[in-house]
Amino acid sequence: MPSTTVEDYLKRLYMLQQQTERRLVSMGSFAAAVGVAPGTATAMVKTLEDSRLVEYESRQGVRLTDAGERLALHVLRRHRLVEQFLVEVLGLDWSEVHPEAEVLEHAISDKVLARIDELLGHPEVDPHGDPIPTPAGDVADRTLASLAECEIGQPMRVAQVLDQDERFLRFADESGLTPGIDLTVESRDDVADAVTVRAGERDAVTVGTSVAAKILVEGV
């Protein structure tokens, strides 16, 4: 049974790999993501390499092996199903479930996870729109764009919110920028670095480009 630290490292590495085409993550980026000194991260990576969970290239970076990726996806599946359970069954706000799931993802058994999945009707995404890996480790391939770059005037639907920070999620909720909401980008102002969006019958709301970049949408 992998330790909590091992699971955290592999999950974080998987998420970082999704942001780079080479799937090779620099040790500086990795250490910053897991919140430890570079030397500590390197020591752990070498331990993971001995267990054949990662491949480490000195002065280049680190990537998951197939075995490491399978384990990382299993942890992500637990995390995201737990988040959905906490919101849908226990009624917690979507802005507060991430830290709870960070703890519970390491404690829940596969048997209980399977029952949660069945109870929820086998959801494909969590409350933030993040895809939930299948038991086999498959992740749905979606074509999404951010509000910062999608076409103006085109009907869109919010599919995913990338930032899990509680304050950001509360702001997204108050602004009507939550998964499942239909909206249209009315304008972009490159000088003001802002995007104006109208969701349904709500008044138009203007957000900064940095905020818009964290809201992913798909065509309706």
Is residue 33 situated within a structural domain? yes
Q: What are phi and psi of 199, to 5 degrees?
A: -110, 115
pLDDT bin (cut points 50, 70, 90) of residue 71 is very high
Q: Give exposure, 66-103, as e/b (b: 16+ Cβ within 10 Å).
A: eebbebbbbbbbbbbbbbbbbbbeeeeebbebbeebbe
Is residue 138 situated within a structural domain? no
CA–CA separation, 130 vs 159, rounded Å?
Answer: 8
CATH of the domain at 54: 1.10.10.10
Number of domains in the chain: 2
pLDDT surpasses 70 at 1: no
CATH of the domain at 171: 2.30.30.90
Q: Structural domain of residue 180, as residue ranges?
A: 145-219
Q: Could you read off the pLDDT of 81-121 as tens digits, one per residue?
A: 999 999 999 999 999 999 999 999 999 999 999 999 999 99
Q: Could you read off the pLDDT of 2-34 as tens digits, one per residue?
A: 889 999 999 999 999 988 777 799 999 999 999
